[in-house]
Chains A and B, each alone.
Chain A
Amino acid sequence: MSVSVRNPAPPINAGPPFVTASSRSRFDLRPIYEPLIFLLVTTAAYFVMPPNMQYVLGIAVIYALLATSLGVLFGWTGIYTFGHAAFFGIGAYATALLKEQAWGPLAFLGMSALIAVIAAVLIGLIGQRLAKVEFAMLTMIVGQIAYLLTFRVPVLQGDNGIYSIPRGDVFGIDLTPPVSFWWYSIIVVAIVMGVLRRIHLSPFGESLNAIRDDAVKAAAIGIPVKSLRLAAFALAGGVAGLAGGLFAQQGSIVTPSTLSFTFSGQIIIMALLGGMMGFWGPALGAILFQFINALVFGNSTHGTLVLGIILLAVVMLFPSGVLGVFARLRDLLMRSRSRQ
């Protein structure tokens, strides 16, 4: 007979009341105002930029969502993955393959997220018993298999990719003009970021942090480590898939590079650049990465090398990322004020 009764421990009598009802918590507005600030700042920037930079920013905000989904794994939960682009690519290809359907763009995004969640759950279940590094290797292998499948499965059209993906219209608004699509994508990104921020601040998010910090202790205090890791992996996969769907709509084309190992590495660099530990670090890193790449060095081989050296220096000198530097400056400022 196995233990089936939940918490049958006999009541502890007398003594100090070690556990009492929680105090009422105030409503936390961060999941509302932080994405709103993100939306306003990026939109203000969008409207003062030249068209070529507007295009870069359009991709950067999608990458911000993608990098944040990686933050759910690396930063929140302590799960290492080297194949995160696979979920982005799965989401992008899902939207591309469904392009003939008469669904709206939001439905495509929903399907992209759903298919990526299913893929993430399957991979998560396979890797549930693996140690951290072994799991990272599994994700890398799965990512490579997904990449190779784009060349082997005829419907995915190999190197040519799938193109002419329509943007469609939302609530009667045609998303073909760049400005319309900007509003559509930034609102979607801001809403999903708000939902993620809500989750980040919740007891579920705190429990993921506990698993990251010490999985043995987390299990000892009653946190279901395996289930929560799987949930985090599914969440991250789903958000990456949604970002992939948005990317496919933005560019109207999907190619195998969206799920390449190189791109998985770039997502890690984006998140490291901004800082893994803070919620907004990966998003900030993704936007910086995209602009450094586009503004300073372009895509030539030489430029990529210099970009790599700069990023290496940033990661070596500021291991907590750009957000970590801001946090340090803020601490120094507060200390100097308290001395006065």
Chain B
Amino acid sequence: MNVLELHNVHKNYGGPPVVQDVSLSIAAGQTVAIIGPNGAGKTTLFGVMAGEHRATKGSISLFGKDATRAGAQRLSHLGVARTFPVARYFLAKTVEQNLVIARDAHQSKYRNPVSRTPRSDEGIRTALRAVGLDELRHQPSNTLSHGDRKSLEIAMALTQNPAVLLLDEPTAGMGAEDIPRTIRLLKGLRESRPDLTIIITAHDMEVVFALADRVVLMANGRVALEGNPSAIRDDPLTREIYLGNSYEGDKQ
């Protein structure tokens, strides 16, 4: 079953297209990495998939239903959780409070103006342990290291029990010791939840080749290559794109 399908998706911001004619079908349980040089359109495509940006043309379906016009909030309730390239979280809150907010948002508790905000529960503690932040749970989140902030965002996504997890540069800026831990975490997550679909954008090829079942290489806003990680790695076009030689998507 395809969880997420993109049909001829275009996106522009009033100027030339940033993403053009992208079609993808992503099955349940797949881990797909979207790679490409800077300016290839990865983050914009990611934003379109996460509902942050609306596609200018084309359509998107989630679990077989049209989600082209669904915004980020709607998609979140449909089972899509995401992280950002620069970790976003609630600075004024502690680590644990951030997870409580994410859990409550997923459970639509924002409608409740009466009862006290519920505190942590076993699900939150499990997510904190999974990303290695258990001991820092009472620490103000604005005092975390860069790597821990990325981990916090992943933990917030996990508390939402997602069906699709969109990870935008999950290891960017992490320390050398944090990257293997994050890879282990995501591998463990895949093993324990085989239905979970993960879509990653990454510059770090170690992450891509350790995790991805399938790699989508983007250039000039288009899908240039698609296939299993070793095929993408060995393709001369990959080298050409990454080495900065001219590549015209239209040549395909």
Let me know if B215 is at the binding interface, CB within 8 A: no
Query: Across the interface, do B50 and A220 meet the contact criterion of CB distance under 8 Å?
Result: yes
CB within 8 Å of A: which of B155-185?
156, 158-164
Contacts known (A206-B104, A213-B90, A213-B92); A2 close to B66, Cβ less than 8 A: yes
Give the distance in Å from the alpha carbon of A19 to the alpha carbon of B163 in the complex.
13
Query: Across the interface, do B88 and A12 meet the contact criterion of CB distance under 8 Å?
Result: no
Residues from chain A with Cβ under 8 Å of B193 in the complex:
12-15
Residues from chain B with Cβ under 8 Å of A221 in the complex:
76, 81, 101-102, 105-106, 156, 160
Let me know if A47 is at the binding interface, CB within 8 A: no
Closest chain-A Cβ to B203's Cβ sits at a distance in Å of 22
| Total A-B contacts with CB atoms under 8 angstroms apart | 183
Let me know if A219 is at the binding interface, CB within 8 A: yes
Q: Which of B62, B110, B118 is within 8 Å of A224, CB to CB?
A: B110
Let me know if A20 is at the binding interface, CB within 8 A: yes
Give the distance in Å from the alpha carbon of A216 to the alpha carbon of B83 in the complex.
11
Let me know if B252 is at the binding interface, CB within 8 A: no
For chain A, the bracket of interface size reads 35 or more
Query: Across the interface, do A19 and B161 meet the contact criterion of CB distance under 8 Å?
Result: yes
Let me know if A142 is at the binding interface, CB within 8 A: no
Let me know if A334 is at the binding interface, CB within 8 A: no
Stretch at the interface among A21-29, A157-165, A166-174: A21-29
Give the distance in Å from the alpha carbon of A2 to the alpha carbon of B100 in the complex.
30
Q: Which of A2, A6, A207, A216 is within 8 Å of B88, CB to CB?
A: A216
Q: Which of B88, B90, B109 is within 8 Å of A209, CB to CB?
A: B90
Query: Across the interface, do B77 and A218 meet the contact criterion of CB distance under 8 Å?
Result: no
Let me know if A3 is at the binding interface, CB within 8 A: yes
Query: Across the interface, do B116 and A27 meet the contact criterion of CB distance under 8 Å?
Result: yes
Contact with B along A179-223 (1 / 0, CB 8 A): 000000000000000000011011111110110011011111111
Query: Across the interface, do A18 and B161 meet the contact criterion of CB distance under 8 Å?
Result: yes
Give the distance in Å from the alpha carbon of A237 to the alpha carbon of B98 in the complex.
29
Residues from chain A with Cβ under 8 Å of B134 in the complex:
none
Let me know if A136 is at the binding interface, CB within 8 A: no
Q: Which of A16, A207, A213 is within 8 Å of B110, CB to CB?
A: A207
Q: Which of A9, A21, A213 is within 8 Å of B63, CB to CB?
A: A9
Residues from chain A with Cβ under 8 Å of B163 in the complex:
9-10, 12
Contacts known (A8-B78, A19-B123, A216-B88); A203 close to B115, Cβ less than 8 A: yes
Q: Which of B71, B90, B104, B126 is within 8 Å of A18, CB to CB?
A: B126
Give the distance in Å from the alpha carbon of A8 to the alpha carbon of B3 in the complex.
11
Contacts known (A10-B28, A19-B106, A225-B73); A202 close to B116, Cβ less than 8 A: yes
Residues from chain B with Cβ under 8 Å of A210 in the complex:
90, 101, 105
Contacts known (A28-B116, A204-B111); A224 close to B73, Cβ less than 8 A: yes
Contacts known (A8-B63, A23-B118); A18 close to B123, Cβ less than 8 A: yes
Chain B residue with Cβ nearest A203: B109
Query: Across the interface, do B52 and A220 meet the contact criterion of CB distance under 8 Å?
Result: yes
For chain B, the bracket of interface size reads 35 or more
Contacts known (A3-B78, A13-B193, A210-B90); A23 close to B119, Cβ less than 8 A: yes
Closest chain-B Cβ to A6's Cβ sits at a distance in Å of 6
Give the distance in Å from the alpha carbon of A216 to the alpha carbon of B101 in the complex.
14
Let me know if B204 is at the binding interface, CB within 8 A: no
Let me know if A317 is at the binding interface, CB within 8 A: no
Give the distance in Å from the alpha carbon of A14 to the alpha carbon of B189 in the complex.
10
The winner among A3, A23, A216, A228 for most chain B CB atoms within 10 A is A3
Let me know if B210 is at the binding interface, CB within 8 A: no
Query: Across the interface, do B121 and A23 meet the contact criterion of CB distance under 8 Å?
Result: yes
Contacts A18-B126, A217-B89, A222-B105 known; 16 new A-B pairs at CB < 8 A: A1-B65, A8-B78, A13-B194, A19-B160, A25-B115, A202-B115, A203-B118, A204-B111, A207-B104, A207-B110, A210-B90, A213-B92, A221-B160, A222-B73, A222-B77, A224-B110
Q: Which 5 A-B pairs have the closest CB atoms?
A: A9-B79, A15-B192, A222-B76, A9-B163, A207-B110
B: which residues have CB within 8 A of A? 28, 50, 52, 62-63, 65-67, 69-74, 76-79, 81-82, 84, 88-93, 100-106, 108-123, 126-127, 130, 156, 158-164, 189, 192-196
Task: Give 29 pairs: A residue, B residue, CB < 8 Å, sorted on A.
Answer: A2-B70, A3-B67, A4-B65, A5-B65, A7-B77, A8-B79, A9-B164, A13-B193, A17-B123, A18-B126, A18-B159, A19-B159, A20-B122, A22-B103, A201-B117, A202-B112, A203-B112, A204-B110, A205-B113, A207-B101, A207-B110, A209-B90, A209-B92, A214-B90, A217-B84, A219-B71, A220-B73, A220-B76, A221-B76
